[in-house]
């Protein structure tokens, strides 16, 4: 069923557990290749504190995670998705998309309640401004 919708998505946002579940393998690269073969154009893989990875047809880009004291991971994955999509819709380069997604996820995990730590776009951008300079 998943293979029916994948060709219509601009990007899919699994984490490691979800990737393993849909691909049938614990090997990340094999899982990404399988998801791509099923029709996924771009896969933004969420790696928690390790950051994220963007896979597009064999091209792999990564961005390291940000160091925060984790208080509550509720909503961190959704915050990553929102940051990535915001950057994508703004026409930003893939590396910036990953950085903004990671920053949004990290800020969310650093506070209680899912969104308490993420106050603004500028706040998230400050986390990685030197990173992309």
In tens, the pLDDT along 41-89 reads 999 999 999 999 999 988 999 999 999 999 999 999 999 999 999 999 9
Interval 12-18 mean pLDDT:
97
Interval 122-132 mean pLDDT:
81
* Residue 109 vs residue 3, higher pLDDT: 109
Which CATH superfamily groups domain 2-128? Ribokinase (3.40.1190.20)
Domain limits, the chain: 2-128
> Which residues make Cβ contacts (< 8 Å) with residue 128, sequence separation at least 6?
66, 99, 100, 102, 103
Q: Which one is catalytic: 27, 59, 78, 90?
A: 78
pLDDT recorded at residue 129: 77
* Weakest-pLDDT range from 42-51, 97-106, 124-133: 124-133
The answer to whether the pTM exceeds 0.85 is: yes
Nearest to 118 by CA among 65, 75, 54, 57: 75
Percent of the chain whose predicted confidence (pLDDT) is above 70: 97
* Residue 33 vs residue 128, higher pLDDT: 33
Is the pLDDT confidence value at 132 over 90?
no
Nearest to 32 by CA among 51, 50, 49, 11: 11
| 78 in active site | yes
Interval 91-109 mean pLDDT:
96
Percent of the chain whose predicted confidence (pLDDT) is above 90: 82
Interval 15-31 mean pLDDT:
96
- Cβ atoms of 103 and 110 closer than 8 Å: no
């Amino acid at each position: 069923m998943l293979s029916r919708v994948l060709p219509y998505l601009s990007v899919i946002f699994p984490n490691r557990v979800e990737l393993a579940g849909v691909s049938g393998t614990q090997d990340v690269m094999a899982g990404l290749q399988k998801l791509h073969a099923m029709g996924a154009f771009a896969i933004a893989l969420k790696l928690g504190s390790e950051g994220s990875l963007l896979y597009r047809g064999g091209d792999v880009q990564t961005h390291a995670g940000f160091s925060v004291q984790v208080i509550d991971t509720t909503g961190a994955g959704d915050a990553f998705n929102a940051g990535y999509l915001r950057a994508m819709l703004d026409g930003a380069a893939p590396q910036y998309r990953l950085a903004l997604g990671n920053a949004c996820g990290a800020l969310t995990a650093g506070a209680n309640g899912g969104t308490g730590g993420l106050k603004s776009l500028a706040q998230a951008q400050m986390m990685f401004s030197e990173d992309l300079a």
